[in-house]
Amino acid sequence: AKMMVKPKTNTRDIGKKIEDIIKGFKYNPIKELGGHQIERWTVHGNKPLPELGNQSGAIIEENDVFAIEIFASTGEGSVHMKNNAYIYELNPYSGRVPLRRKTSKQILGFINRNYKTLPFAERWLAKEFRMGVAFGIQELVQQNKLKAHYILAENKGEYVAQTEETVLITEDGYIQLT
């Protein structure tokens, strides 16, 4: 499937190839997950790289950067959100909102200075703030200043495997970055 990554290719066609390979090994691709374009300060860009051939795609262009993420499951190939989140990212479109807690304001400033719109782990803030991190994050999520990335799970007893590579699209193919 990676050999198909080049300018003018529709990511849906790559998704179909990924789906065929995964199903050829008697596993199921995770329909809610897949690869994506990466843009400056934006991990999940506008162009999707789906895992299924029947999902919408986008045309790859030279100088695009893509995360090719492949998820294979022993289960149905569908995930659901759990109630826990440990990864967050700043919502740059939330505008100004009043924050009640001083710690929330301090955490927001720290995130703006250190992570901008890139994802970060809650535990990374614990090094900077001794107390109030959980309450501060809770308020920031409630006020839509932070987007929470909730844990995703398949059905109980099923396994999910993931692989990810990052590529820069060149005139005639790609350069593997990770």
Same domain, 54 and 25: yes
Same domain, 109 and 131: yes
The pLDDT tens digits for 20-68 are: 999 999 999 999 999 999 999 889 999 999 999 888 999 999 999 999 9
| Residue stretches of the chain with pLDDT short of 70 | none
Confidence (pLDDT) at 27: 98
Confidence (pLDDT) at 106: 96
Confidence (pLDDT) at 53: 87
Say how far apart CA 122 and CA 128 lie, in whole Å.
11
Per-residue HEC secondary structure of the chain comes to: CHHHCCCCCEHHHHHHHHHHHHHHCCCEECCCCCEEECECCECCCCCEECCCCCCCCCECCCCCEEEEEEEEECCCCCCEEEEEEEEEEECCCCCCCCCCCHHHHHHHHHHHHHCCCCCEEHHHHHCCCCCCHHHHHHHHHHCCCEEEEEEEECCCCCCEEEEEEEEEEECCEEEECC
CATH number at residue 58: 3.90.230.10
CATH number at residue 121: 1.10.10.10
Predicted TM-score of the model (pTM):
0.82
What total number of domains does the chain contain?
2
Same domain, 67 and 85: no
Domain residues for 119?
Answer: 81-151
Same domain, 6 and 69: yes
